[in-house]
Structure 1
């Protein structure tokens, strides 16, 4: 009888350990279904499945948090590129502009996350409008970064473009998650 009980407990444990993986995956797939860059969303947010589950507010916070991380990494890259002094003329000015717009984007993303962390049912609609505006502005900033490099195609520019594009795609996904939260309500 003790052997049967132990075997049953082992089967239950194995079942519990293997089942959540599928359900955690379904949570992130559901959350990312509203995003434009779903594969990137799945890759960048899958680690939040166990805590966010079906909560749109937690997914929005996760999306903005990941966006802040990616935007910080890109900003560091741009600052290093600026300090390296390898780009000259118009491209150098464009790098300086990119640093400025990415720092502005970071400010807007931080404001968004701060408000997301303490949403109020009474002021929910206004808060969501502000957050949407700030994230949209961050996305515009990131997209604007590449404008000064028109016609460029060198290796260094391709790396820069890849980093900036990834940051803007992740920001777009965060905006979609925030929009989903806004439509779900407080």
Structure 2
């Protein structure tokens, strides 16, 4: 039986554990290089570098960005749905309209995610156009939600504005990732 000196064993263990680091470093580098020109680069990096699913390619990164946006929109919709009662009529109407807008955004983002998951070479441009249109529509819905609070003052408006603005920022970053994916595909033909 061959015995390996303890210090050699430690060196081998260190080297084998550090060999796994470049892969995660490469993922981190993809996120960093992809987010650098996003509308909200630090938010992009923070949300996508902490994303738990696969994000090893520009396509997976675009999907991750849409999933982040969809998740945040879902949380805001749930928050707004439970907050509709207890305010004056004007606030209730604005909140109710906003829930509808965010629900439409979630629908658009879900369609986008489905399209990104099933990209095909022969229909790539059409699918990317759909994805870009749907994410743009989601952004418009988010803006429309905020427009409904014109003339409303106070805590309700500021809470909704803060939450919707956050969703709009991650949605804007998702659109950037989709545009980036579309452009990178065009360069590799």
TM-score by length of 1: 0.89
Counterparts of 2:144 and 2:16 in 1: how far apart (Å)? 52
- Residue by residue over 1:24-57, the C-alpha shift from the partner in whole angstroms, topping out at 9 and shown as x without a partner, is 332211121231111111121113488323x110
Indicate how the Cα distance of structure 1 residues 146 and 90 shifts in structure 2: closer, same or farther if over 3 A, else same. same
- Which structure's residues are more often helix, by fraction? 1
Distance 1:71 1:158 in 2: 17
Counterpart mapping for 1:131-142 below 5 A = 131-142=131-142
- Partner of residue 115, structure 1: 115
Query: In 2, distance between residues paired with 1:48 and 1:163?
Result: 20
Name stretches of at least 5 consecutive residues in structure 2 with no aligned partner: none
State the partner residue of 1:157. Answer: 157
CA distance in structure 2 between the partners assigned to 1:78 and 1:42 by the alignment: 27
Per-residue CA deviation, residues 10-33 of structure 1 (Å, 9 max, x unaligned), is 230342255555443322111212
Select the residue among 27, 37, 46 that pairs with 2:30: 27
- Whether the 8 Å CA contact 2:53–2:64 is kept in 1: the answer is no
Name the structure 1 match of 2:174: 174
- For residues 105 and 50 of structure 1, the distance between their equivalents in structure 2, rounded to whole angstroms, comes to 22
Match of 1:60 in 2: 62
Give the length in aligned residue pairs: 183
Q: Structure 1 residues 121, 18: closer, same or farther in 2, change over 3 A?
A: closer
Gaps of 5+ in 1: none
1:44 corresponds in structure 2 to: 47
Q: How much does 1:7 deviate?
A: 3.3
C-alpha spacing 1:50/1:157, structure 2 compared with 1 (3 Å): closer
- 2:130 maps to which residue? 130
